[in-house]
Structure 1
Amino acid sequence: MLTTLAVENYRSLRDLVLPLSRLTLVTGANGSGKSSLYRSLRLLADASRNGAVAALAREGGLPSTLWAGPETIGRAVREGRTRVQGTVRSKPVGLRLGFSGDEFGYALDLGLPVPDLRTSFGLDPEFKRESVWTGPVLKQAKLLADRAGPSVRTREQTGAWSEDVDPIRHTDSMLSEFADPRRAPELLLVRERIRSWRFYDQFRTDSGAPARTPRIGTRTPVLGHDGADLAAALQTIRETGNDAALDEAIDHAFPGSSLDVANVDGRFGIRFRQHGLLRPLDAAELSDGTLRYLLWVAALLTPRPPELLVLNEPETSLHPDLLPALAELIAKAAESTQLIVVSHAQPLVRALEAAGDELGLDVGTLALVKEFGQTILSGQGTLDRPSWYWPKR
């Protein structure tokens, strides 16, 4: 389980170190930095697939994603005696992301390249440092793999550093290039754990949504991000022995209702029976809220739970009456996987806190607020921050 998440210089997240729980609820007003936190986690996952540079390009490039305020905010500004002004930079420009748990930690430092007129790709961000270590806090003695610029070194089983220092391209992650089961098994383990992270962000439920159309069904233990394989995912849940949980989730949200999956020449489609209706409804006839709830059922009852599941605003399009049922689904899923839920809906947050307490889960609520343009954790003092150290360039 991850216990700490650290972000530096990503949009409004100038310097954020957060404690993580089994079920972590991230809340705050619009513009407080919730979406930036969600995207920073996705960027970490992209790095494990060598996709960090491309992901930053989709956001407008590294300069567009960096913290836009001054390097430091002085006391005079905080007391309102002067306006925010630019300062002389004393540290290198960089975007830093990292996490740690009881077993392993990982951190990366992305920076601007040295100007080179010989290439047209002079704005591609480079990995300046990358480190993997054992335990929750970075220490030199705990390092397993370390990357400085174009060089990667790994620690051997004897505890000594390998004599071979391997070259690597500045824009490649060592997680994708040096995860060798013989030379660096721990690096491979960290990479595969990050790659198992799963993200769901506002399923489509409009009239043309992929989930509304019958499709060829195959065994689907993991619901796709667009929800197109919804019917197949629900049938997979039934056939893997979790049909009782599926029926309970439907009945809790829609008392007296039931759900079946029709198979017509290999094409799977939903048949939703509601109390009082003479015939079942297919996916094209369902309301946006009903369809979205079924998508969350398929995502949360997955027969193949990930190491980390991140949900972004799962309450979207749902009637308040459905939030207790959704909260119970999420809390039960947290018994088998670590969950981070980003939401500004206080009724859902309260329902999740209650459901988590009832199941005896470790639930943490993180309220984000803005202060002088930067995102901070409400109520977190200097001594309340988890221990965290960045690898130095």
Structure 2
Amino acid sequence: MLHTLAVHNYRSINTLLVPLGPLNVITGANGSGKSNLYRALRLLAETAQGGVVNALAREGGLASSFWAGPELVSRRMRDGSVPVQATQRDGPKRLRLGFAGEDFSYAISLGLPESNSGETRDTPSFFALDPEIKREVIWAGAVYRPAAVLVERKGPMVRVRDGRDWRLLSQHTASFDSLFAQVGGDSHCPEVLRLRELMRGWRFYDHFRSDAEAPARQPQLGTRTPVLHHDGRDLCAALQTIREIGDPEALDGAIDDAFPGSRLQIEAYDGLFSLQLRQPGLLRPLKAAELSDGTLRYLLLVAALLTPRPPTLMVLNEPETSLHPDLLPALGRLIIQAAQRSQVWVVSHSRRLIAALEQYPECRAIVLDKELGQTQVLGQDSILEQPLWRWPD
């Protein structure tokens, strides 16, 4: 389980330390920075997939992703005594992301290429604006200490701790590749492999399709599907997999909780799976193409949350979208059930869903606010109220 998420110099986030529990509900007013916090977590996941540079490029490049305000917002700026103005920067401009886990913790620092690197090229590179990975560190425990460092990367060099000494693993690591891509398969650093596989297992659900042409409404070729695709295209196969090798009682209970007296059926013909929902009072079951957007979306969430292969971290971005308010308590109970097998993040605007989730004793409500354009966690008014975190040097 992650205990702390740390973000520095990313969009509306100057510096943010978020304490985490088994179930985390991220909420706040529109424009408070919920989406930026969610995107920062996705960027962290991309480091293990080898796609963090491409992900930043899709966001408009690293330069446009930097926090646009001053490095330090002073007390006098906050009370209006002086205008918001640039302050002297202590070091180079970096986007930094990190998390503290139970066993291992990780941090990455990205920056723009050095303009005076001394390199001479006959032809300038077309990729001169690509961000570079400047620093990566994996350490034991939750709080960074030099003595706890297990693997570190400085520029192109990667080394791993070997007793009281260090073993050099790579001297020419590409600036656009994470150490997970370079040394993730090296038998001398199992920590990298373990952390990489853990982060690759994180699941993000924020783009379920429910339109008339959505794949989930069409008959689909079915194979065993313990993990629902992020857009829900393999819904029928995922539901049938839960019925056969997962928890069929929980599946039937989740359907009955939301639609009392209803039963879910999966039909198979020539390898094509189709979904039907039998409801009280109707002479025939409703096919997937006939279901409302909200009903289909609820079934997609059921398939995601009752997965027979629970991840270490599952993130739901505004799961209440298209759902009738009366469905939200049932969804809340389903999320609470999932939080007993996985760490769960929920980004939500819905007060009714938030109230349902807060019934869980281990639910941590994180309310975001914005002051002078800077995203903050409400209630973290002093350093003593923040989780303990140190960035690597």
Q: TM-score range by the shorter chain?
A: over 0.9
Q: CA deviation at 1:318?
A: 0.5
**What does residue 101 of structure 1 align with?**
101
State the alpha-carbon separation in 1 of the partners of residues 97 and 246 from structure 2: 39
- Give the SS at the match of 2:136: strand
Q: CA deviation at 1:160?
A: 2.4
State the alpha-carbon separation in 2 of the partners of residues 71 and 293 from structure 1: 43
Give the direction of change, closer, same or farther, for the CA distance of 1:226–1:163 in structure 2 (3 Å limit). closer
How many residue pairs are counted as aligned between the two chains? 386
Q: CA deviation at 1:305?
A: 0.4
State the alpha-carbon separation in 2 of the partners of residues 28 and 75 from structure 1: 23
**What does residue 321 of structure 1 align with?**
326
Residue correspondence of structure 1 range 168-183 to structure 2 within 5 A: 168-183=173-188
List gaps (5 residues or longer) in structure 1: none
Q: CA deviation at 1:87?
A: 2.9
Residue correspondence of structure 1 range 1-393 to structure 2 within 5 A: 1-115=1-115, 118-156=124-162, 158-162=163-167, 166-354=171-359, 356-357=360-361, 362-380=362-380, 381-392=382-393
Amino acid at match of 1:384: E
State the alpha-carbon separation in 2 of the partners of residues 102 and 88 from structure 1: 36
Structure 1 vs Structure 2: percent identity of aligned residues?
Answer: 57
State the alpha-carbon separation in 2 of the partners of residues 82 and 233 from structure 1: 58
Q: Is the 8 Å Cα contact of residues 202 and 316 (structure 1) preserved in structure 2?
A: no
Which contiguous aligned blocks of 4+ residues in structure 1 show a shift greater than 3 angstroms?
A: 163-166
Q: Is the 8 Å Cα contact of residues 5 and 99 (structure 1) preserved in structure 2?
A: yes
State the alpha-carbon separation in 1 of the partners of residues 318 and 128 from structure 2: 36
Q: Is the 8 Å Cα contact of residues 202 and 313 (structure 1) preserved in structure 2?
A: no
State the alpha-carbon separation in 1 of the partners of residues 169 and 250 from structure 2: 53
Amino acid at match of 1:37: L
1:5-35 CA-partner distances (Å, limit 9, x unpaired): 0000111111001110011111111111111
- Give the SS at the match of 2:167: coil
Amino acid at match of 1:263: A
State the alpha-carbon separation in 2 of the partners of residues 145 and 80 from structure 1: 44
State the alpha-carbon separation in 1 of the partners of residues 168 and 296 from structure 2: 57
Amino acid at match of 2:357: L
Farther-moved stretch of structure 1 (165-174 vs 336-345): 165-174
Give the direction of change, closer, same or farther, for the CA distance of 1:159–1:187 in structure 2 (3 Å limit). farther
- Give the SS at the match of 2:286: coil
State the alpha-carbon separation in 1 of the partners of residues 130 and 207 from structure 2: 30
State the alpha-carbon separation in 1 of the partners of residues 125 and 392 from structure 2: 29
Q: CA deviation at 1:164?
A: 5.4
Amino acid at match of 2:50: N
Give the direction of change, closer, same or farther, for the CA distance of 1:208–1:165 in structure 2 (3 Å limit). closer
- Give the SS at the match of 2:247: helix
State the alpha-carbon separation in 2 of the partners of residues 80 and 386 from structure 1: 28
1:215-249 CA-partner distances (Å, limit 9, x unpaired): 11110000001111000100000001411111000
Give the direction of change, closer, same or farther, for the CA distance of 1:164–1:272 in structure 2 (3 Å limit). closer
State the alpha-carbon separation in 2 of the partners of residues 145 and 112 from structure 1: 23
Farther-moved stretch of structure 1 (161-170 vs 370-379): 161-170
What is the CA RMSD across the aligned residues, in angstroms? 1.2
Normalization by structure 1: what TM-score? 0.96
Q: CA deviation at 1:328?
A: 0.6
Amino acid at match of 1:382: I
Q: Is the 8 Å Cα contact of residues 150 and 167 (structure 1) preserved in structure 2?
A: yes
State the alpha-carbon separation in 1 of the partners of residues 185 and 277 from structure 2: 48
List gaps (5 residues or longer) in structure 2: none
Q: Is the 8 Å Cα contact of residues 261 and 280 (structure 2) preserved in structure 1?
A: yes
1:82-133 CA-partner distances (Å, limit 9, x unpaired): 3222233232111000001121100000000013663121111011110000
Give the direction of change, closer, same or farther, for the CA distance of 1:329–1:65 in structure 2 (3 Å limit). same
